[in-house]
């Protein structure tokens, strides 16, 4: 879209939930609207307040490019928390930018090469944080950052960061609970506004269940929710999905995820993700989006709540670590569970920051070293420490901020790409700017506790205030149960005949030829699949996902369509 005299152009991907709050103000300033789009509001906010003033007023998800011909500059921004992706690179004198890396493959100046400096980070964490990407010269524009392109070159700067400071006089827990309730209801309401049909992604956890429950009051007719279920009851959350759908008085559409679902989609989903399919459960979201798109065009999800409120066990373990460390030598002498205690609380690691960062690794370091003996994971830890050091609050809130700047961004990219692959828009009410600012202002013990309970102690100490909110609408057994985390029966899929053929015919030969990883070790693990435990299967997946991605993004140098 362009402005009235065609001197300013805008390209915009996303949704601004507070855009129309500014229409009267802009009209009073002389702007005449030609459409009823948030794109035009953004354009005029730029003309009225400049780029920084425009960004300061936006609450939503976006990647924005403004071309200002008068000032001879291009201005680019990614939303505050990284809900929408954005990539850029410089190849010679050519500047490329896109919401999808795969589009770069079509440009004659682009060279698709692996950045070996970033491979170690992928092996350790399964993704690259900050502005890094596995492809050489490709950079992610970080959340809350903008980019300026002019005759002087390319420069980036941070325009917003996750707040650190808490209120000097925090609200009582009861008042905070009421305030959170009001903010979440307001966010859900604003994100339901759409010209197309909206539904909710329902996993059965409290995050998506609360979103679905709050959304229900804004539907006159039936409300659709969508879920993935499994045949094996060990992996399926069907019982809890039923309870949440019943509480929300919602129609629930359940899609069975099978071996065929996994094998049919693993390569196509990798193509859409633009990076190795680091979390195999991404395929569940991919299939959910494909099937949901038959009925709705927009889905609300509970993404972001775990990182904002402290939902992972590692946050609780980090809180109680100072009390457990003196007892650790004795605890490690207990058969069977001693090693588990050592791993959870970072035995042998004196630095609580290093212990927390390492707790987010998906595989044992010894397994990773077997995969890649020359890897230098010390340099990866240095990069991660630098991100952690940006936090200026207490230890817990620094841990939360670190996860929001790293792991959450990767999950948001995954959520966006798996849904947009089917032209389905995903919205995340928990990451409304007002909610984020409010939650970041709360005392740490409102989020993660440090008490010991006889039953489900880690579940009772995580997402404390959010679970109290959920207790108003759901049974305590529902709220405080141990959540599975959307696991997949990965070893069952590996044993399927079709996947066996893919591994033998293409992936193992590709690994041997590529030489990035120790193919003999991968082959050994593969041959011993029947003896492999789930943890080893996850490490094996790291190698498999990397090779599937490499064959598409490194070997097939020209783009064009899905595989």
43 and 139 inside one domain: yes
pLDDT at 48: 97
- What phi and psi, each to the nearest 5 degrees, are found at residue 60? 170, -160
pLDDT at 533: 67
Q: 324-338 pLDDT, tens per residue?
A: 887 777 777 777 777
357 and 469 inside one domain: no
Task: Return the exposure string of 364-384: e unless at least 16 CB atoms fall within 10 Å of the residue's CB, then b.
Answer: eeebbebbbeebebeebbebb
Number of compact structural domains in the chain: 4
pLDDT at 486: 59
331 and 380 inside one domain: yes
Q: 42-73 pLDDT, tens per residue?
A: 999 999 999 999 999 999 999 999 999 999 99
For residues 22-29, average pLDDT: 96
Q: Is residue 560 a part of any domain in this protein? A: no
In the predicted structure, residue 561 carries a pLDDT above the cut 60: no
Q: Is residue 168 a part of any domain in this protein? A: no
Q: Is residue 426 a part of any domain in this protein? A: yes
Q: Is residue 474 a part of any domain in this protein? A: yes
User: Which residues constitute the domain of residue 54?
Assistant: 8-158
Token reading at 518: 């120790």
CA–CA distance, 16 with 291 (Å, rounded to integer) = 26
For residues 132-138, average pLDDT: 96
Closest CA to 99 of 130, 131, 136, 140: 140
Whether the CB-CB separation of 140 and 127 falls below 8 Å is answered with no
Q: What is the pTM assigned to this prediction?
A: 0.94
3-class secondary structure per residue, 36-60: CCHHHHHHHHHHHHHHHHHHHHCCE
Closest CA to 210 of 507, 18, 471: 471
The mean predicted confidence, pLDDT, of the chain is 92
For residues 260-275, average pLDDT: 96
Q: Which of 370, 404, 438 is the last residue of a domain?
A: 404
Q: Is residue 388 a part of any domain in this protein? A: yes
CA–CA distance, 159 with 326 (Å, rounded to integer) = 43
Q: Which of 132, 158, 184 is the last residue of a domain?
A: 158
424 and 280 inside one domain: yes
pLDDT at 345: 77
319 and 439 inside one domain: no
Q: Which of 351, 380, 404 is the last residue of a domain?
A: 404
Beta-sheet pairing, 139-140 with 425-427: unpaired
In the predicted structure, residue 557 carries a pLDDT above the cut 70: no
204 and 276 inside one domain: yes
Residue 508: band (very low, low, confident or very high) from pLDDT cuts 50, 70, 90: very high
Strand (E) or helix (H) holding 177: helix 173-192
335 and 301 inside one domain: no
Q: 403-458 pLDDT, tens per residue?
A: 999 999 999 999 999 999 999 999 999 999 999 999 999 999 999 998 887 567 77
For residues 457-476, average pLDDT: 93
209 and 251 inside one domain: yes
CA–CA distance, 511 with 366 (Å, rounded to integer) = 20
In the predicted structure, residue 298 carries a pLDDT above the cut 60: yes
Token reading at 460: 């009772």
For residues 470-497, average pLDDT: 86
- What phi and psi, each to the nearest 5 degrees, are found at residue 360? -90, 0
Q: Is residue 165 a part of any domain in this protein? A: no
Q: Is residue 2 a part of any domain in this protein? A: no
In the predicted structure, residue 527 carries a pLDDT above the cut 50: yes
Strands (E), 159-277: 198-201, 224-229, 251-256
Q: Is residue 164 a part of any domain in this protein? A: no
pLDDT at 563: 42
Residue 558: band (very low, low, confident or very high) from pLDDT cuts 50, 70, 90: very low
pLDDT at 485: 61
414 and 508 inside one domain: no
416 and 473 inside one domain: yes
292 and 206 inside one domain: yes
In the predicted structure, residue 137 carries a pLDDT above the cut 80: yes
Q: 157-196 pLDDT, tens per residue?
A: 999 999 997 657 889 999 999 999 999 999 999 999 888 8
64 and 138 inside one domain: yes
Q: 544-553 pLDDT, tens per residue?
A: 999 999 999 9
pLDDT at 459: 81
CATH number at residue 211: 3.40.50.620
pLDDT at 394: 94
Residue holding tokens 């008042």? 175
Which has the minimum average pLDDT: 112-121, 289-298, 550-559? 550-559
CA–CA distance, 280 with 230 (Å, rounded to integer) = 14
pLDDT at 290: 97
């Amino acid at each position: 879209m362009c402005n009235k005299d065609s001197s300013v152009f805008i390209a915009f991907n996303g949704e601004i939930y507070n855009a129309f709050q500014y229409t009267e103000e802009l009209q009073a300033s002389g702007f005449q609207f030609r459409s009823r789009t948030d794109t035009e509001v953004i354009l005029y906010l730029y003309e009225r307040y400049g780029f920084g003033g425009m960004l300061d007023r936006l609450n939503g998800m976006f990647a924005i490019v403004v071309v200002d011909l008068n000032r001879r500059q291009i201005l680019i921004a990614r939303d505050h928390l990284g809900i929408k992706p954005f990539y850029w690179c410089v190849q010679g004198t050519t500047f490329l930018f896109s919401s999808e890396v795969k589009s770069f493959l079509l440009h004659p100046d682009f060279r698709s090469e692996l950045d070996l400096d970033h491979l170690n980070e992928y092996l350790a964490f399964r993704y690259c944080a900050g502005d890094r990407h596995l492809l050489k010269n490709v950079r992610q524009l970080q959340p809350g950052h903008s980019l300026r392109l002019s005759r002087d070159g390319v420069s980036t700067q941070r325009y917003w960061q996750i707040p650190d400071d808490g209120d000097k006089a925090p609200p009582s827990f009861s008042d905070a609970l009421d305030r959170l309730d009001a903010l979440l209801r307001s966010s859900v309401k604003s994100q339901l506004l759409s010209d197309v049909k909206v539904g909710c992604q329902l996993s059965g956890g409290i995050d998506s269940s609360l979103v679905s429950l709050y959304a229900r009051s804004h539907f006159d007719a039936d409300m659709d929710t969508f879920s993935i279920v499994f045949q094996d009851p060990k992996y399926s959350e069907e019982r809890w999905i039923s309870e949440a759908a019943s509480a929300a008085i919602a129609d629930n559409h359940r899609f069975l995820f099978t071996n065929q679902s996994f094998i049919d989609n693993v390569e196509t989903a990798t193509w859409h993700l633009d990076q190795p399919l680091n979390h195999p459960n991404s395929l569940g979201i991919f299939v959910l989006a494909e099937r949901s798109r038959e009925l709705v065009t927009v889905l609300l999800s509970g993404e972001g709540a775990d990182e904002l409120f402290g939902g992972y066990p590692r946050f609780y373990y980090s809180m109680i670590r100072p009390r457990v460390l003196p007892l650790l030598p004795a605890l490690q002498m207990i058969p069977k569970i001693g090693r588990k205690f050592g791993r959870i609380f970072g035995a042998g690691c004196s630095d609580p920051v290093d212990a927390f960062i390492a707790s987010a690794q998906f595989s044992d370091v010894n397994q990773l070293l077997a995969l890649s003996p020359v890897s230098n994971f010390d340099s990866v830890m240095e990069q991660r420490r630098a991100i952690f050091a940006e936090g200026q609050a207490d230890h817990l809130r620094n841990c939360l901020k670190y996860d929001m700047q790293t792991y959450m961004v990767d999950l948001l990219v995954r959520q966006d790409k798996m849904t947009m692959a089917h032209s389905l828009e995903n919205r995340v009410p928990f990451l409304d700017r007002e909610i984020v600012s409010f939650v970041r202002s709360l005392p740490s013990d409102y989020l993660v506790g440090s008490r010991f309970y006889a039953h489900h102690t880690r579940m009772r100490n995580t997402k404390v205030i959010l679970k109290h909110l959920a207790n108003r609408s759901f049974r305590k057994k529902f709220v405080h149960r141990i959540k599975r985390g959307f696991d997949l029966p990965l070893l069952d899929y590996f044993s399927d005949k079709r996947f066996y053929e893919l591994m033998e015919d293409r992936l193992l030969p590709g690994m041997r030829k590529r030489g990035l990883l120790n193919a003999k070790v991968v082959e050994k693990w593969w041959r011993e699949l029947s003896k492999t435990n789930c943890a080893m299967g996850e490490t094996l997946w790291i190698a498999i996902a990397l090779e599937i991605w490499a064959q598409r993004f490194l070997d097939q140098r020209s783009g064009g369509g899905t595989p």
